[in-house]
């Protein structure tokens, strides 16, 4: 007879079953768990989640990659700022039984394009006054490419109607 899953594993499975993203950053889940329970370090939470046979690890993201010029304090502040806007570094997981559908892929393309456009607009707003015209022009070019991607997604029928989506980037 197998042992019943722990409260943590039951919570993780329910979270992954209900989250619209299907593929969820472990740190995002841990933040919610820690806020409610106040237990488990991120390292212990990650170990337990990855050991669950019903959970599949997916490729992770590192939002501090190629930022060697930043001090450890600056990197930590950058990571906190990114997380505040829904950009989590680290491993991601999904329930093995939860299928990634074409609708999910379309939703994720829309969501990530929204976040990318938002981040690019923030970068443009934060450009220093002494930034070169070439730097600003390059940023504007990238913003235009993001807008073109949005149009291309819409023309391909992969972007749902705007009224189905929140305007704030998340996740």
Provide the token pair at 98: 């939860």
CATH of the domain at 87: 1.10.10
What is the model's pLDDT at position 168? 41
**58 and 12 in a common domain:** yes
Express as a percent the part of the chain with pLDDT over 90.
Answer: 38
What is the model's pLDDT at position 107? 81
DSSP structural state of residue 64: T
Show which of 71, 99, 127 is a domain's final residue.
99
User: Which structural domain, as residue segments, surrounds residue 6?
Assistant: 1-99
| Residue pair 89/60 in contact by the 8 Å Cβ criterion | yes
What residues have CB less than 8 Å from 8, skipping those under 6 apart?
Answer: 33, 40, 45, 48
**62 and 4 in a common domain:** yes
What is the model's pLDDT at position 169? 45
CA 68 to chain centre: 22
Distances (CA, A) of 13 to 22, 135, 153: 11, 45, 32
What is the model's pLDDT at position 65? 78
Provide the token pair at 137: 């022009």
Quickly tell me which residue has 């930043």 as its tokens.
70
H or E stretch including 91?
strand 90-95
**1 and 85 in a common domain:** yes
**106 and 37 in a common domain:** no
Q: At what angle do helices 42-51 and 26-37 cross, to 10 degrees?
A: 120
Reply yes or no on whether the pLDDT at 132 is more than 60: yes
Distances (CA, A) of 102 to 99, 107, 157, 158: 10, 9, 11, 9
Give the mean pLDDT of the chain.
Answer: 85
**84 and 105 in a common domain:** no
**3 state SS of 93:** strand
Render pLDDT for 14-56 as a digit per residue (tens, 0 to 9).
Answer: 999 999 889 999 999 999 999 999 888 999 999 999 999 999 9
| Residue pair 139/123 in contact by the 8 Å Cβ criterion | yes
**74 and 3 in a common domain:** yes
Candidates 100, 6, 19, 2; CA nearest to 52 is 6
**131 and 51 in a common domain:** no
**15 and 93 in a common domain:** yes
Across the range 72-96, mean pLDDT stands at 88
Across the range 121-150, mean pLDDT stands at 88
């Amino acid at each position: 007879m197998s042992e019943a899953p722990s409260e943590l594993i039951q919570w993780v499975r329910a979270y992954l079953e209900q989250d619209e993203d299907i593929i969820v950053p472990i740190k995002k889940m841990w933040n919610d768990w820690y806020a409610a329970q106040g237990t488990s370090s991120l390292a212990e939470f990650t170990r337990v989640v990855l050991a669950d046979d019903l959970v599949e690890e997916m490729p992770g993201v590192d939002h501090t990659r190629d930022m060697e010029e930043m001090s450890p304090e600056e990197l930590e502040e950058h990571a906190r700022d990114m997380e505040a806007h829904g950009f989590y570094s680290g491993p991601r997981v999904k329930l093995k039984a939860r299928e990634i559908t074409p609708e999910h892929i379309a939703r994720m393309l829309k969501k990530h394009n929204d976040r990318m456009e938002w981040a690019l607009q923030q970068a443009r707003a934060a450009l220093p006054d002494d930034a070169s015209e070439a730097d600003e022009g390059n940023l504007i070019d990238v913003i235009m490419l993001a807008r073109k991607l949005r149009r291309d997604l819409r023309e391909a029928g992969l972007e749902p109607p705007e009224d189905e989506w929140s305007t704030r980037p998340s996740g």
